[in-house]
Amino acid sequence: MVFSSLLFLFRFLPIAFLIYYIVPKKLKNLSLLLLSLFFYSWGEPRYFPIMLATILVNYLAALGIEKFAEKKALRRAFFLIAVFFSLGMLFFFKYTNFFIENLNGLLRLSIGTLELTLPLGISFYTFQTMSYTIDVFRGKVKAEHNIIDLGAFVVLFPQLIAGPIVLYTDINEALKNRKINLAQIEDGVKTFILGLGKKVLIANNIGALWTEVEKIGFANVSSPLAWLGILAFSLQIFFDFSGYSTMAIGLGKMLGFEFPENFNYPYIARSITDFWRRWHMTLSAWFREYVYIPLGGNRKGKARMYFNLFVVWACTGFWHGANWNFIFWGLFFFVFLAVEKAGFSKFLDKHRIFSHVYVLFLLLMSWSLFAITDLTQLGTFFMRMFSFTVGADWLYYLRNYAVTIVIACVLSTPLIPRLFEKVNIGWLKNTVYVLILLLSVAYLVDATYNPFLYFRF
């Protein structure tokens, strides 16, 4: 089930909230666990046992780690079992075919690939769950003895499928003891509506343009249309992804949780370093906390720091999808992050306009790398972008999407939200929320294009 669907809004949500608000405090986590398991199993009932196993393995491993605090080897064994299990599941479902295909290509074999659908949100919940076991192992947090509470964390439906990546330490206290109050719910409803609007009204609308370009075929588009297309994709992925995160944060609030922010106007960044402090913040934080720093971070000399960065960005790329283009996409960022670290960021600081142009240009390049998984196709697309063939095809699409593009560009900056904050007329603001909600429902009823971008993740 995805948030941006009538099924979720008008079937799951009313039932889930009625149950959740009515049951006594003691049973709230149990109701959350059961509702979330239902949410998770809806699309792929066959994967229900996998989720149960994930909860059980991590629960038992953490108890083992706690119990054998004195026996180092045993403690380590429990830890490794949990990590191998989590990563193993992720690798099996997400990366098996990638390795088979590459092995086939390299050794001229013909091993058959597997017919697997990715369990919903596996990339996200794997990382979330690992944060728990790792933190218990490192002694940062105590093991959870109540399997219902831990289960509720692992499968919590708002953050299950597309982030933000909520660490166990972010919400462990709220899991045990949270007050649900109307002010927070009100805030959550508003946040959710904004997220819904981002996804349904902006991302879906502008994404149709990129799909159109793909359909025409990269070999047939003019240069202006190629640029228009990748601009549309860049806006789509931002509004899609941040829309999901915003909806998740809103739902979290309605349930009494405060999730970390995930996006902070990434497209106004003035360097790639800055961009990654604003884009999918919880993922970068996860890699910093659980990969970069354990590898030694920047404390072991320059050469080691660059190596660590390389590892982190290769992993970040690979996390986004089981394909070479995603690895190149990650390494593309590694190159520019390294260049900036080596001193280029000082230059960027001094040149305001240049820094924006530099970031936006690189991002358009990076999104091309991200959007096109076939490397030959990618080559064709770059050829089109830089061959400067002027056709007439872009005229129609520009006319059709101009208003949407302008709206999306403006909303990528803090301009409108800041103005909105300054307005002090309550009913006016609420009218805006109601309008966004009603329009979103209308677009969902006549959904000619409502993709789910994160099936790869």
Partner 1 sequence: MMEKIKQLLKHPMTLIFGLLIVGIFIWDNLYPIREFSDMENRALTKKPAFSVKSLMAEGDQSYTMKYEKYVNDQFVLRDQWISLKSRSEFLLGKTENNGVIYGKDHYMFEKYFSTDEERLGKNTAFVKEFGDKYADQTTVSAMLIPYSYEALEDKVPAGLAFVDQVARTKEIYGELEKSGIKTLDIFPTMSEHRDEYIYYRTDHHWTTQGAYYAYRQFCESRGRKPVELSQLTGHEVKDFYGTFFSKSKAFNTVPDVISYYDFSTGKIVIDGKETEGLYAMEKFDERDKYGAFLHGNNGLTVLRSGEVDRPGDGSRILVVKDSFGNCFTPFLLRNYDEVWVVDLRYLKEEMSAIMSENHFDDVLILYGFVSFDSYPSVSKITY
- Does 448 help bind partner 1 (rule: CB under 8 A)? yes
User: With CB under 8 A as the contact rule, which of the stretches 96-104, 184-192, 363-371, 409-417 interacts with partner 1?
Assistant: 184-192
Q: Return the structure tokens found at 133.
A: 């076991």
User: With CB under 8 A as the contact rule, which of the stretches 140-148, 186-194, 289-297, 374-382 interacts with partner 1?
Assistant: 186-194
- Does 14 help bind partner 1 (rule: CB under 8 A)? yes
- Does 403 help bind partner 1 (rule: CB under 8 A)? yes
**In sequence order, which ranges of 198-262 are alpha helices (DSSP H)?**
204-216, 223-255
The rounded distance, in Å, linking the Cα atoms of 98 and 90 is 13
- Does 391 help bind partner 1 (rule: CB under 8 A)? yes
227, 306, 382, 433: residue in contact with partner 1 (rule CB under 8 A): 433
Q: Are 241 and 164 in contact (CB under 8 A)?
A: no
User: Which candidate, 116, 108, 150, 110, places its Cα nearest to that of 133?
Assistant: 150
Which long-range contacts (C-beta less than 8 Å, at least 24 apart) are formed by 51-54?
51/119, 51/154, 51/155, 53/85, 54/85, 54/86, 54/89, 54/125, 54/126, 54/129, 54/154
- Does 190 help bind partner 1 (rule: CB under 8 A)? yes
Orientation of helix 168-176 relative to helix 122-137, angle to 10° = 80
- Does 114 help bind partner 1 (rule: CB under 8 A)? no
User: With CB under 8 A as the contact rule, which of the stretches 71-79, 165-173, 212-220, 310-318 interacts with partner 1?
Assistant: 212-220
46, 71, 76, 142: residue in contact with partner 1 (rule CB under 8 A): 46
40, 381, 437, 454: residue in contact with partner 1 (rule CB under 8 A): 437
User: Which candidate, 282, 257, 317, places its Cα nearest to that of 131?
Assistant: 282
Which C-beta is closer to partner 1: that of 52 or that of 189?
189
Q: Which residues are catalytic?
A: 320
- Does 439 help bind partner 1 (rule: CB under 8 A)? yes
9, 331, 360, 365: residue in contact with partner 1 (rule CB under 8 A): 9
DSSP string spanning 128-193?
HHHHHHHHHHTTSSPPP--HHHHHHHHH-HHHHTT-----HHHHHHHHHS----HHHHHHHHHHHH
- Does 10 help bind partner 1 (rule: CB under 8 A)? yes
User: With CB under 8 A as the contact rule, which of the stretches 70-78, 306-314, 381-389, 425-433 interacts with partner 1?
Assistant: 425-433
The rounded distance, in Å, linking the Cα atoms of 330 and 324 is 10
Contact residues toward partner 1 (CB under 8 A) are 5-7, 9-11, 13-15, 17-18, 42-43, 45-46, 182-183, 185-186, 189-190, 192-193, 205, 215-216, 220, 391-397, 399-404, 407, 426, 430, 433-434, 437-439, 441-448
